Structure 1
């Protein structure tokens, strides 16, 4: 996989993750349907936020990986 494809996939993951976080915040703060569902509604909104955070994590991991590779190349 080329770096361009990997960067595109990471950008898509970040975008979907941010959208899920925003959806979870909307559900939690503004949606009356989620409020009427009770505990199940809270779980749904929390799940959206958690999945959004999980999807936004790969970019941080990839950047750390690149920095480690760059540092190991400098030592050699």
Structure 2
């Protein structure tokens, strides 16, 4: 039967039960499809708090420049 084969096999080492459980958790989480294929639209309010791009770079005047209009 197709369901009789294990999904994965540990071939080296002697992991503890906790390590196997962590591995199973990661495999299950990675095998699920993402919740919704497209990201939710971002509001203008949320976008206003994000950097506008590479226009402002870190440097000695970055703190002052951060208050300037975009």
TM-score (norm 1): 0.27
TM-score (norm 2): 0.29
Question: Considering only CA atoms, is the larger Rg found in Structure 1 or Structure 2?
Answer: 2
Q: Name the one with the larger helix percent.
A: 1
